[in-house]
Chains A and B, each alone.
Chain A
Amino acid sequence: MKLHEYISKRIFAEYGVAIPKGEVATTPTEAKQIAEDLGGRVVVKAQILVGGRGKAGGIHLAESPAEATEHAFDILGMEIKGLPVRKVLIDEAADIKSEIYLGITNDRAARKPVMMASASGGVDIEEVAQKTPEKIIKVHIDPLMGLQNYQARDLAAGIDLPRDLWRGFGKIACGLWKVYLESDATLAEINPLVITAENRLLAVDGKMVLDDNALFRHPDLAEMRDLDLEEEAEIKARENGLSYIKLDGDIGCMVNGAGLAMTTMDIIKLFGGEPANFLDIGGGASAKKVASALRIILSDPSVKAVLFNIFGGITRCDLVAQGILDALKGIDTEVPMVVRLVGTNAKEGRQLLANAEMETAETLADAARKAVAAAVPA
């Protein structure tokens, strides 16, 4: 789960990281008031959870409250990469001498957190990593020990930070480590961390991504989820305990198990079709669960056929078949469906479906072929 810039920076500030003075506005009038209160030059920044907002015109410098009002008016009416801007952050403009990068994330291969710093701040760090990886200095942190002071010094020295700033940098690095640790973040990043004309370190922009699996420990942060970022169907699926991701194709799929769900998408493509979604209904497959999953799949108007692919292990296929039939009683649809049941009691399950005149398949390849054919109008 991603957090907005203003929320991330407020969290950083709680851990001793200096951030610019600023407030969030949802209307141009509020923006004007904030700019007046701050006095002087301000930056008006779209609060949106996609990258590249600067290039899209979502960040503007304003010399006066009147200018800030205008920018807020423009930005609050914008859509950036399909997402509406509902909030702007009005920050005191910093007098920037130079920009550095400081971030912490999970290094999956090393199975440890990694803290990274670069003297090339303010730009897309993934681009720096690809083009000039030598400009990124990394230290791996032992998750049982935490960040050590010498590691922060190594980072400071590695990016040629002036020695008089090492102490301040160390405090920020420790603060960021604690943010990461205590929020269960998978990313906590300050980009840029600027050196101001007064020779102070200031976190001008911030970004955090939280581990969805750890949100139970952070109910306060979980409430800050921005639903604009997600498809309505994906939100509904999560509420129903289903894992659903919308794709661009026209063959809906309902599968038990994530790996098998991906495989089902792949095999639809292999046989010339395009999957409309990823959907894992998990264990069980009761009529209620099948029904809510089917409603979510059919809420996508581009779906021309639905493929059920259920492996009955401990779950019996005849019960799953009955679940599908029960679910279909409550749903009015003309969309053709192909059901593949395999595993425990598959024969009985297929018989139940055949009696109800549903198209069934035995193998995965056969099911994909039938679903692809069903999606093409006769």
Chain B
Amino acid sequence: MSILVNKNTRLLVQGITGREGLFHTEQMAAYGTNIVAGVTPGKGGAWVLGGKVPVFDSVRMAREATGANTSVIFVPSRFAADAIFEAADAGIELIIAITEGVPVQDMMRVRNYLDQKNVRLVGPNCPGILTPGEAKVGIIPGNIAIPGNVGVVSRSGTLTYEVLYALKNLDMGVSTCVGIGGDPVNGTNFIDTLRLFEVDSQTEKVVLIGEIGGSDEEEAATFIASQMSKPVAAFIAGQTAPPGKRMGHAGAIVQGGTGLAEDKIRALEEVGVKVAKHPEEIPSLL
């Protein structure tokens, strides 16, 4: 198995004719991902990827014509909330928003709306999902991971690539890598992903990559203690980050004494999670 995306994924790309959208559509297709449609309002009727992928004006039209079940979003931040609402209302089951810089009030509206529906959102401000050998949805480089039994979940981008690469160098493969994104309000969180890994038959162990800000890692620790049977190793970035400053990611900020790396590390270690001192140490902890 694997989680969230696989060879049965029928992918739709929102913002497919934009520079980023088109570039990554080519990359995803080259990896073997089944891309069935694209959406750019006003460009319906066009074709991309040498005439292989049809472009539609709306997600509803694209889904009805192609049976797309998953959408990846590359639209600019000011249009991202609208794109997510559109995908959810059109019946897309899994929405992966790569877009960075979405206003946080937009995301609060999105989250509270999606929570009333049967839709899963991953992101925004995330690198997407990679199930090695099956599907790449988003921007994670396909060549840095091989299929295997390690599940990876992370709030970061390139830091995740580091870890995938370190695993690959030791011939350790990955079941699925999920980038949940670095925003303060997002869709799928650590617990949601851990729950999926726990019941996935391919995944035997899990790597969790967190960072400063919020309390998702602490909540994950509680979940691990009570509901995870599979071993988890972790790394938390930002031990040297000064309080009150946003470290690149909108969500990576220590505020009013909460969100500290040391608190997250302690919470995880207390429930038996091995926490790496630096990312290259992770494979040896598995």
Binding site for B on A (CB under 8 A): 106, 108-109, 111-113, 126, 129, 142-144, 181, 184, 186, 211-214, 216-217, 243, 245, 247, 255-263, 265-270, 275, 278, 280, 311, 313-314, 342-344, 363-365
Binds A, one of B64-72, B197-205, B242-250: B242-250
> Could you tell me the distance between the alpha carbons of A299 and B101 in the complex, rounded to whole angstroms?
28
Contact A278 B241 (CB under 8 A): yes
Q: Which residues of B contact A142 (CB under 8 A)?
A: 112
A109 to chain B, nearest CB (A): 6
> Could you tell me the distance between the alpha carbons of A213 and B71 in the complex, rounded to whole angstroms?
23
Select the residue from B162, B165, B245 with max chain A CB neighbours within 10 A.
B162
Say what secondary structure dominates the interface of chain A. mixed
> Could you tell me the distance between the alpha carbons of A363 and B280 in the complex, rounded to whole angstroms?
8
Q: Which residues of B contact A216 (CB under 8 A)?
A: 78
A191 to chain B, nearest CB (A): 15
A226 to chain B, nearest CB (A): 16
Binding site for A on B (CB under 8 A): 27, 77-78, 101-109, 111-113, 139-141, 143-144, 154-162, 165, 182, 184-185, 209, 211-212, 214-215, 235, 237-242, 245, 247-252, 256, 261, 277-280
Select the residue from B108, B238, B256 with max chain A CB neighbours within 10 A.
B108
Select the residue from B103, B212, B214 with max chain A CB neighbours within 10 A.
B103
Contact A111 B185 (CB under 8 A): yes
Contact B27 A259 (CB under 8 A): no
Contact B248 A342 (CB under 8 A): no
Contact B249 A259 (CB under 8 A): yes
Contact A213 B77 (CB under 8 A): yes
Q: Which residues of A contact B184 (CB under 8 A)?
A: 106, 108
- A217-B78, A263-B162 given; 15 more Cβ-contact pairs under 8 Å: A112-B108, A184-B105, A213-B250, A214-B104, A245-B247, A247-B242, A257-B161, A259-B154, A260-B237, A275-B240, A278-B247, A280-B248, A311-B162, A342-B162, A364-B280
Contact A259 B237 (CB under 8 A): yes
> Could you tell me the distance between the alpha carbons of A348 and B184 in the complex, rounded to whole angstroms?
38
Contact A257 B159 (CB under 8 A): yes
> Could you tell me the distance between the alpha carbons of A256 and B248 in the complex, rounded to whole angstroms?
11
- Nearest A residue (CB) for B154: A259
Contact A213 B139 (CB under 8 A): no
Contact A265 B108 (CB under 8 A): no
Q: Which residues of A contact B158 (CB under 8 A)?
A: 255-257, 259-260, 311, 313
Residue among B111, B141, B240, B248 making CB contact with A258, cutoff 8 Å: B248
Contact A344 B141 (CB under 8 A): yes
Residue among B104, B109, B156, B279 making CB contact with A364, cutoff 8 Å: B279
Contact B161 A113 (CB under 8 A): no
- Nearest A residue (CB) for B214: A108
- Nearest B residue (CB) for A247: B242
